[in-house]
Amino acid sequence: MDYKYVSRSEEDTLELAENIESEKFPGMVICLNGELGSGKTVFVKGFAKALGISDTVTSPTFNLVKEYNSGEMNLYHMDVYRLEDGNREFGLNDYLNQDAVVIIEWPEMIEDQLPEERLDVTFKVTGENTRTLVFEPHGEKYEDLCNSVL
C-alpha cells in the first residue's frame, strides 16, 4: 500500500521528516527518489535536525556518503547518482549493518543492492512550492511507521 503526503513548503517537508524521525529504529533505511530540486536533501535536513545533529547537512553528491555522528543515532546520507556501472561497490553493506539510519538519494542506481525491508519515498514537483511525496513501505516496521505518521 502506498501513502501520499502533500508538502506545501520546505517547512512542511522538514516537519514531516522530523515526525518520521520520531519513529526511527536502528538499521532503518530510507530511499529518496525524485528529480533535482524536489526536496530530498530538505527531508534529510529535517531528519538530521530531529536526531540532534548540529552539523550542516548538504547533499553528498561529490562525497558519495556523508556521516553524521553527533546525534542520538548515527546518520549516513548517501547520494549514489554519480556511481558508474562498473564501480558500484562502495561498502553499502558495511553501513547497512550498523545501528544507524541510512538515507539514500538516487537509490535506483544501486537497486540490486538495496535491502528488501526499507522505506521508498518519491518526491514529485507539483507546483512552485508544492511537492507530493509517495511513500512505499517494504516490511512490517515501515508499514507501521507510515500508519503512525501519515
Overall domain count for the chain = 1
| Domain interval for residue 20 | 3-149
What's 84's domain CATH number? 3.40.50.300
Q: Distance between CA 3 and CA 82 in Å, rounded? A: 29
65-74, 76-85, 136-145: least confident range = 76-85
The pLDDT-based confidence of 84 (bands split at 50, 70, 90) is: low
> How do residues 27-70 score in pLDDT, each as one tens digit?
999 999 999 999 999 999 999 999 999 999 988 777 789 999 99
Contacts of 41 (CB under 8 A, 6+ apart): 57, 58, 59, 105
Contacts of 67 (CB under 8 A, 6+ apart): 74, 75, 76, 77
Cβ distance 101 to 75 under 8 Å?
yes
Helix (H) or strand (E) holding 104: strand 100-105
Predicted TM-score of the model (pTM): 0.94
> How do residues 86-108 score in pLDDT, each as one tens digit?
455 678 888 998 999 999 999 99
